[in-house]
Chain A
Amino acid sequence: MIRFDNVSKRYGSGQDALSRVSFDVASGEMLFLTGHSGAGKSTLMKLIMLMERPTQGQVLIDDRNLNRLSRRHIPYFRRKVGVVFQNHQLLFDRSVFENVALPLQIAGYQAGEVGRRVRAALDKVGLLDKERHNPIMLSGGEQQRVGIARAVVNKPPLLLADEPTGNLDPELSADIMNLFEQFNDVGVTVMIASHDLSLLKRMNKRVLGLSGGQIVHDGVLA
């Protein structure tokens, strides 16, 4: 599903965010990405989302070389990748329902289908009763769940999450992780960036450890 082939990324400032990173993620896998801030986690995620382009090497998603994807095709590619952000990236000028509906409206679903899918996604994250609320009225954990609902509403085959539990207490974190596992159970490839070591150990999944822009660990944490 994801393949990094000797990928390097150097920013304009001359700083190497990633250098010669190679790894494979099979379809239907769930894995974590860890490392200190500045280790390259975010850059790696951004390369998958085509928010950045590699300076060197190739990123293949679903056997598709992202280097060959023109700017015009980026939106259509992004529809196949669900992303959960640490700061939620919710829009506070509209309801929870409308936030979650956004990817479907963009993808051109009929209004009836949009309603059905949004409610299914909100039901999944346990927020069906809050669909008319403004997200600003929700707690941090609830906002994160709205973000997750929005990321999965289009049923993407790949789900990325950048520090999804960063600001949450352990109990809420466990809830959120549980959700991700459920998506993984139905075949979604899930990749989560987190620096919460205790969480990584508890989850007992493959972990990619990044340091200084290089992969220093690949496997289940001991």
Chain B
Amino acid sequence: MSPRRPLPRTAPKPPPKPRPKGASQSRTRLADRLDSWQAHHSTTAVESLQRLFRTPLQSLLTWLVVAVAVALPAALYLVLNNIQNLGYSWQDSGQMSVFLIEDVRPEAIDALLASLNEDARIDQVSHVPPNDALEEFKAYSGLGRVLQGLEENPLPDVLLIRPATNNPDALGELRETIAAEPLVAEVRLDMAWVRRLQEMMALGQRVVLALATLLALGVLLAVGNTIRLAIENRRDEILVVKLVGGTDAFVRRPFLYTGLWYGLGGGILALVLLGAGLWWLSGPVARLADLYQSDFRLRGLDLTESLQLVLLSGVLGLLGAWLAVARHLIQIEPR
């Protein structure tokens, strides 16, 4: 703080009190104290940030350590998220095929279609008449000549149903309902595939959570250790501050802010790393998806998730600093 800086006035200056003869312990009013407490917070916040920029290389290294530790689980989370999205776009191939019994009258099929269309659990129903199915089969199976030899169409009427849900239990229930219809001969649903995907996702989420916990611990230790060194470096200052009546909170404050800055900076850097990785991968992924006639695209973190990531990282930095401060500041006492 430069002594000649214009001084902010947030409260009117108290009128000069008549001072008793001799030296007196002057008291500060509560409102003034609150003001100055707030002022100390903001100056400490700014000063500790400036201090970090005064040793840019060292600070950058700590920021990078935090960033990598935060970006790694976040990247895995994104991978899971994208796989899940991909899974949803494949859900079409996992639609329900409802085979009807033979020789159903068209009116009965229309009635069934109408009732299915009213079911909220069903997104879309389409009817494939036996002739259409046969044509399609001929076109795609490569058995066209063999099939031409058939005297009559062996295929039944089929209803293709796209369910509105992808919850395996709900799908199972829907399947039961449809199977109970008198016109329905069989319902096919690749439940196993849906279940496997879900279970794999649940497992993946656990792995990410475990990894994130470990790496969060790593951030705590890394920031804690850096703060410990900072405390050692400022030992003289801490002693003097304690000798002239600095409270523990006053001594703690700059280090806690330093930890917060390490965390927030690391979080922002992690976002940059994630963004760069996503940009690097998105081209090839898009080309690959195009080859499969898919419009799948890599999805990054949205604004809320990004903010949460930075905030979480900041909290980790603060906690790490708190651990170091709680352990080491108490040991520095004037002797």
Query: CB within 8 Å of B: which residues of A?
Result: 28, 46, 49, 51, 75-80, 83, 89-91, 93, 95, 97-98, 101-103, 105-113, 115, 118, 131-132, 150, 154-157, 183, 186-188
Contacts and interface: CB of A to CB of B under 8 A. Distances in A.
B32 A110 contact: yes
Interface residues on B, range: 35 or more
Contacts of B237: 91, 93
Contact of B3 (A49, A97, A106): A97
Given A107-B245, A155-B24, A89 B9 contact: no
Nearest to B13: A112
Contact of B244 (A102, A131, A183): A102
B296 interface: no
B42 to A, nearest CB: 12
B240 interface: yes
Contacts of B7: 111-112, 115
Interface of B is mostly: loop
A188 to B, nearest CB: 5
A122 to B, nearest CB: 10
Interface string B20-60: 01111110100011011101100000000000000000000
B142 interface: no
Given A118-B3, A155-B23, A188-B23, A106 B250 contact: yes
Q: Counting chain B CB atoms within 10 Å of each CB, which of A79, A106, A118, A154 scores highest?
A: A106
A112 B9 contact: yes
Given A91-B237, A112-B9, A115-B7, 13 more contacts: A78-B243, A89-B240, A95-B3, A98-B1, A101-B1, A106-B245, A106-B246, A107-B28, A108-B28, A108-B37, A110-B39, A155-B24, A186-B23
B242 A75 contact: yes
A93 B50 CA distance: 14
B236 interface: yes
* Top 5 A-B residue pairs of the complex, sorted by shortest distance between their CB atoms: A187-B22, A79-B245, A78-B245, A97-B3, A103-B244
Contact of B8 (A103, A111, A187): A111
Nearest to B246: A106
A102 B35 contact: no
Contacts of B245: 75-79, 103, 106-107, 154
Interface string B130-162: 000000000000000000000000000000000
B25 A157 contact: yes
Contact of A102 (B8, B28, B33, B240): B240
A109 B33 CA distance: 7
A157 B1 CA distance: 28
Contacts of A131: 3
A77 to B, nearest CB: 8
A109 B36 contact: yes
Interface in B110-137: none
Contacts of A188: 22-23
Interface string B217-247: 0000000000000000000110111111111
